[in-house]
Amino acid sequence: MTLAQETAFAHVDQAGPALSAWTRTIFDFGETAWREYQSAAWYVDILRREGFSVEEGSGGMATAFCAHWTNGSGPTIGLYAEYDAVPGNCQDAATVQRPRPGLNEHAGGHTDPHSALGISSLGALLATKAAMERHGLAGTLRFTGEPAEKVRGSKPIHAAKGYYDGLDGMISFHPFYMLPLCNTVRWDTHCGAAYSMIYRFVCDSPQDWLKASGDGAPIPQSHSAVRAPGANDALMMMYMASKALRDSMLSHQGGWSISEAILTAGQATADNLPAGLAEIQYMIRVPTVAMAEQATAVLDANAESAARVAGCRHERHWVCKSRPGLANHAMARVAWEALQSVGPPRWNEAAKATARDIQKNLGLEPMPEPFLDECERLISPEQAEAILRRDLPPSQLNSTSDDYTDMTWHAPTARIYVARPALKAAAGFTYPSWVMNALGGISETIDPMVVCAAKTIAAAALRLIEDSAARDAARREFVERTGGGVGGEKWTAPLCDYEPPIHFRWPEYVTTPRGRDWWIPSVPAA
């Protein structure tokens, strides 16, 4: 371990109380995709106070940013924060199931949790900066704010607009979310491609669907007249036809999936009029771009057919088009050695008591050691890779989904996983989802991950800054795998050919004369 890395570790330890408070702040914001206004503003404010220059609204996205700090001519290292939450997961940081104060259970909440992901990276960033200042290390730190990860939103756009160009290394971190990827680094099998789009059905000429009845009614399409089916019917036909695609074409094996979400409906009352507007969003997660294109073609055909039947027109709007990930073993080794120098997170008796309280409240017998054993163990990248590959066909090169993959085509990238708190289950019992969400917000249970991840990321960043041989090895491998680097013969160019989809009616918090609430209003208890 170098003196600079020791300085970074001490900085993280000293900042521990602040990192804990910051994690809870973002957790309690609970803002969802493309609407992370408070969270983004919070990051921008603290980065500027720490001496970074910050571009707000980077890439044309209101809740994105790009920050820089330079200590002279040297390598440029990239880190990033995510901070979007998920609708319908408004769990308080508590040992019982309940929404955060003043909200209903349908509001946004952190599941992965991105609240801790972002603060881990921020803690590493500030620790790396402190070490560079103290030991006179030249170089630049670039820190991007990445909204809407849950719809793989910002990184394809940032990539296409050049925000990852010129980096000597990018360090990606995520709380562990599936075994064996717990306290390890991705090796060969990185995340796959993803396409997401919104199909909008508009019934703006219902009279054209069937000739008017000719009865002289003063209101076209009156209650007694035959009317066009309308946008809601188009959406439902689209949903059912595409469900067959989901169930037959992609069988939810090997990390493949198609999921959907109904966004808006363009009518305010249940009158006997054709619905004028309806929107449905699809997310396609597949190993390859070719598979994503094939599934998209089927969805396009379904949308066209549904619109014709229901007397509508349809539009397709892109939410994301992201590439599968590119491995870099040299970067993985740097990250793995950093994680080994830190060791896995450890949970103390206070954290275990909190976990036992959750078990007790669920009617379970509290366990002396309630956390999964794997949470406090390291597993080498090669071992994790071998376990991950057991259930995948040899031809499948990518699995699961995350948009860090777009970074891998612009800079040598490492993908680190550190254990988030996860509980052991009694035989035949499955924990409800609120338990994991709560553990991600309770300071006693999530702080060990934040500290471990911050130290690991900082150690890897400083290794790249101090060790030119490690940087050169990562760059040589990047050039080899891309056939010449950015623009090389084996390089995959950005797929983003669309503007940021920030103008849609994404779920969000609203303020009215009734107060601040989730966009689906609370229903008072009977």
Q: Is 108 helix (H, G, I), strand (E, B) or coil?
A: strand
Tokens of 454: 């911050």
Which residue reads 């002279």 in tokens? 72
Q: List every span in the chain annotated with CATH 3.30.70.360.
A: 194-323
Quote the DSSP letter at residue 463.
H
Q: Which of 33, 160, 127, 141 has its CA nearest to residue 486?
A: 160
Say how far apart CA 349 and CA 523 lie, in whole Å.
39
Residue 253, C-beta contacts closer than 8 angstroms, at least 6 positions apart: none
HEC string for 361-402: HCCCCCCCCCECHHHHCCCCHHHHHHHHHCCCCCCCCCCCCC
Counting runs of H as helices and runs of E as strands, what totals does the chain give?
A: 13, 15
Say how far apart CA 68 and CA 144 lie, in whole Å.
9
pLDDT at 209 over 80: no
User: By mean pLDDT, which of 109-118, 223-232, 470-479 is the weakest?
Assistant: 223-232
pLDDT at 356 over 80: yes
CB 189 within 8 A of CB 389: yes
pLDDT band at 525 (very low <50, low <70, confident <90, very high): low
Q: What mean pLDDT value characterizes the chain?
A: 93
Q: What percent of the chain has pLDDT over 70?
A: 94
CATH number for the segment(s) 194-323: 3.30.70.360
Q: Distance of CA 518 to CAs 30, 102, 458, Å?
A: 11, 10, 37
Tokens of 142: 């670039």
User: By mean pLDDT, which of 97-106, 108-117, 269-278, 444-453 is the weakest?
Assistant: 269-278
Q: List every span in the chain annotated with CATH 3.40.630.10.
A: 3-190+325-482
pLDDT at 215 over 70: no
* The predicted structure's pLDDT at residue 273: 77
pLDDT at 125 over 90: yes
Burial 411-448 (b: 16+ CB within 10 A, else e): bbbbbbbbbbbbbbeeeeeebeebbbbbbbbbbbbbbb
335-346 pLDDT, tens digit per residue, is 999 999 999 999
382-395 pLDDT, tens digit per residue, is 999 999 999 898 98
CB 295 within 8 A of CB 286: yes
417-444 pLDDT, tens digit per residue, is 999 999 999 888 999 999 999 999 999 9
pTM over 0.85: yes
pLDDT at 26 over 80: yes
Q: Is 272 helix (H, G, I), strand (E, B) or coil?
A: coil
Residue 125, C-beta contacts closer than 8 angstroms, at least 6 positions apart: 79, 141, 143, 458
Q: What phi, psi does 294 have (nearest 5°)?
A: -65, -45
Phi-psi category of residue 451: left, alpha or beta, with phi > 0 → left and psi -120 to 50 → alpha: alpha
pLDDT at 4 over 80: yes
Bridge-based pairing of strands 257-265 and 509-512 is unpaired
* The predicted structure's pLDDT at residue 60: 97
Phi-psi category of residue 494: left, alpha or beta, with phi > 0 → left and psi -120 to 50 → alpha: beta
Which helix (DSSP H) or strand (DSSP E) does residue 248 occupy?
helix 231-248
260-294 pLDDT, tens digit per residue, is 888 877 776 677 778 889 999 999 999 999 999 99
CB 500 within 8 A of CB 60: yes
Q: Which of 225, 195, 204, 196 has its CA nearest to residue 307?
A: 204
Say how far apart CA 63 and CA 424 lie, in whole Å.
37
Which residue reads 């059905």 in tokens? 201
Q: Is the dihedral of CA 114, 120, 123, 128 positive or negative?
A: negative
pLDDT at 110 over 70: yes
Q: What is the mean pLDDT of residues 232-240?
A: 93
* The predicted structure's pLDDT at residue 483: 97
Q: Which of 306, 221, 208, 213 has its CA nearest to residue 267?
A: 221
Residue of 513 and 96 predicted with greater confidence = 96
Tell me: cis bond preceding 113? Omega within 30 of 0 counts.
yes
Q: What is the mean pLDDT of residues 498-520?
A: 90
Domain 3-190+325-482 has CATH 3.40.630.10: yes
Q: Distance of CA 464 to CAs 255, 376, 408, 473, Å?
A: 32, 26, 16, 10
Q: Which of 11, 276, 235, 224 has its CA nearest to residue 132?
A: 11
CB 85 within 8 A of CB 68: no
| DSSP of 193-242 | EEEEEEEEEE-S-GGGTS----S--SSTT-TTS----BHHHHHHHHHHHH
pLDDT at 328 over 70: yes
Say how far apart CA 249 and CA 257 lie, in whole Å.
9
Which residue reads 């880190």 in tokens? 79
